Amino acid sequence: MMLSIPDVLSAEQLQQCRTALESGNWQDGRLTAGHQAVNVKANQQLAQDDPLTQQLGDFILARLAQHPRFMAAALPLKVVPPRFNRYTGGGTYGDHIDNAVFSVPGTPHRIRADLSATLFLSEPYEYEGGELVVQDTRIKLSAGHLILYSSGSLHRVEPVTRGARLASFFWVQSLVRQDDQRSVLLELDDSIQALRQQVPDSPELVRLTGIYHNLLRQWSQT
């Protein structure tokens, strides 16, 4: 699954995040890289224990919880608290695959990464390069929009040759582990919503909604 989700943040909310990040204490991103990634990672990040990381991360999680498209696509069970990165002056992140499991800082909890997410915080015209490349797909979304994709995908961030690319990123453990099953559920949900708009009194809505929940009951892992 790869899905673009628009308008996670409004223009006003985006500006609030951008203003806060201007005074952020950016650190070398290699401090959080594993043995393999340290050789291909050249960016900046806010520390995971930085109060600004927690403040903005909580804000983004609250927005996501109210975003029906994200909830329908990800079916989130657990979410690794959002982190923040910055690419500038040739900053890049070479080909890599995300870790399978992440620890939640300050807790004993561990989260399986089924889905990776990048929330773009800079407009495309503010920087050159910086495309997120997932497999062979190049992604450069408007600020406030999010891309959701399988955590098992090979991906990279192209060098930023002008300006600065700001983003938030995080991982999701879904109620439904299998990517193809999540795709089926999303397609079914989209069909139900379309039918509800076209024929709101259709008796088939009850039947299709029941099928959706029975599939979710069969496939979900809690």
* Domain locations in the chain as residue ranges: 2-174, 179-219
**pTM, rounded to two decimals:** 0.95
Buried b (16+ CB within 10 A) or exposed e, 191-221: ebeeeeeeeeeeeeeeebeeebeeebeebbe
In this chain, the answer to whether the domains covering 2-174 and 179-219 adopt an identical fold is: no
Q: Say how far apart CA 82 and CA 84 lie, in whole Å.
A: 7
Q: Return averaged pLDDT per consecutive 10 residues of the chain, 222 residues in all.
A: 96 97 92 75 95 97 97 97 97 95 90 98 98 97 98 97 98 97 98 96 95 98 84
pLDDT of residue 38: 75
179-219 architecture in CATH?
Answer: Irregular (4.10)
pLDDT of residue 191: 97
Strands 137-139 and 101-103, bridge-based pairing: unpaired
CATH superfamily of 2-174: q2cbj1_9rhob like domain (2.60.120.620)
pLDDT of residue 39: 82
pLDDT of residue 34: 67
